[in-house]
Amino acid sequence: MRPDAPQNADTVAGVGEFGLIRRVTQGRIQPPSTLLGPGDDAAVVAAPDGRVVATTDVLVEGVHFRLDWSTPEQVGRKAVAVNMADIAAMGATPTALLVGLGCPADTPATLVDELSAGMWQEAAVAGAGVVGGDMVTCETLVISITALGSLNGAAPVTRAGAQVGDVVAVCGRLGWAAAGLAVLGRGFRSPVAVVGAQRVPEPPYAAGPQAAAAGATAMVDVSDGLLADLGHIAVASGIGIDLRTDLLEVHPRLQDVASALGADPRHWVLTGGEDHALAATFPDPRGVPEGWRTIGTVRHGSGVTVDGIAYEKPAGWEHWR
């Protein structure tokens, strides 16, 4: 806690750790998978097929979000969405979330309320519960979320199963969050569609288990950029991937934004992260499920090419690079 931090009732210091925990958990309705919710040393969550899928993502103010660009509620939704997208990318359904929150002592308690409201809202989209967490003093606002999920008897869809001859398909938006970031970075607040996509991604959670059921051989969520994340599948599967420009739809809205900013919308589509679309490989073009768009094929070799050619610009986001 900062020595000069106000101790008044409106700050996290004033409300205190236990008071805050009460505020963010009281009256919340848990899904049936929450066998024991918040308030004890640990939670107990159903794992009906004897396995649990688990993933962690950490979001830092100024790195992953800005409170002058997004409301706390939007940040809460995004923090949950990026984690649940990883669960979906295994072919699983999100069941539960644990939230670690670090914030300065003089943080308004309402900020925590709003963050929490956003988290519960996004959790509800996928039917998950917020089952536990921890709140601590930290000079930087940090949100660490762990998402759990259930495969419901299916095999996990890893990054390592893509086979030469498979088709590559995506479900969800590509390039929208990157377009929103470009807009916000220039000081604009509209168009709302792309700015909203940057603030709160809309991962197609149900498309994960859908792809698993349709026989997807490999799957990933597009968090670092399409080329970067398909590159992970290429490395893990020991194959190459070729994308076809004519199959990569650039939405007219993105075209408009790109024209206004003098940017290349295809670059957003190929390298923009944070939309958390799902990308997967399927053995049979006719087996690609409804709602998915075929964008390329799995080939011999390595790396990800576009129309057979290496893409030259930086392929995606890596921390500290």
Task: Tell whether residue 133 is among the known ligand binding residues.
Answer: yes
Binding segment for a copy of itself (CB under 8 A), chosen from 10-18, 65-73, 181-189, 254-262, is 10-18
The SS3 of residue 36 is strand
Q: What does residue 307 show for φ and ψ, rounded to 5 degrees?
A: 55, 35
Site for a copy of itself in 111-140 (CB under 8 A): 131-140
Task: Tell whether residue 274 is among the known ligand binding residues.
Answer: yes
Binding of a copy of itself at residue 156 (CB under 8 A)?
yes
Instruction: Give me 257's structure tokens.
Output: 């934004």
The Cα–Cα gap between 5 and 184 comes to: 31
Show the binding pattern over residues 166-205: x = contacts a copy of itself (CB under 8 A), - = does not: ----------------------------------------
Q: Please give the C-alpha separations between residue 27 and each of 21, 91, 207, in angstroms, as whole numbers.
A: 12, 31, 31
Q: Please give the C-alpha separations between residue 297 and each of 30, 282, 303, 304, in angstroms, as whole numbers.
A: 42, 9, 12, 10
The Cα–Cα gap between 272 and 14 comes to: 41
CB nearer to a copy of itself: give 134 or 284: 134
Task: Tell whether residue 302 is among the known ligand binding residues.
Answer: no
Show the binding pattern over residues 54-93: x = contacts a copy of itself (CB under 8 A), - = does not: xxxxxxx-xxx---------------------xx-xx-x-
Helix segments in 153-251, DSSP class H: 176-185, 192-199, 207-213, 226-237
Site for a copy of itself in 199-228 (CB under 8 A): 219-221
Q: Contacts with a copy of itself: how many residues (CB under 8 A)?
A: 77
CB nearer to a copy of itself: give 101 or 241: 101
Q: Which residues lie closer than 8 Å to 312 by C-beta, 6 or more apart? A: none
Cβ-contact 298, 163 below 8 angstroms:
yes
Q: How far is the CB of 66 from a copy of itself (least distance, A)?
A: 14
With CB under 8 A as the contact rule, the residue among 25, 30, 146, 237 that binds a copy of itself is 146
Q: Pick from 280, 304, 308: which is nearest to 294 by CA?
A: 280
Task: Tell whether residue 64 is among the known ligand binding residues.
Answer: yes
Q: Which residues lie closer than 8 Å to 12 by C-beta, 6 or more apart? A: 20, 103, 104, 105, 106, 107, 108, 109, 112, 135
Binding segment for a copy of itself (CB under 8 A), chosen from 48-56, 114-122, 166-174, 263-271, is 48-56
Task: Tell whether residue 225 is among the known ligand binding residues.
Answer: no
* Strand (E) or helix (H) holding 166: none
With CB under 8 A as the contact rule, the residue among 3, 27, 32, 50 that binds a copy of itself is 50
CB nearer to a copy of itself: give 186 or 321: 321
The Cα–Cα gap between 268 and 279 comes to: 16
Show the binding pattern over residues 15-44: x = contacts a copy of itself (CB under 8 A), - = does not: xxxx----------------xx--xxxxxx
Site for a copy of itself in 227-286 (CB under 8 A): 236
Residues placed in the known binding site for Mg(2+): 41, 55-57, 86, 134, 221, 224
Residues placed in the known binding site: 41, 55-57, 64, 86, 133-134, 159, 221, 223-224, 274, 317
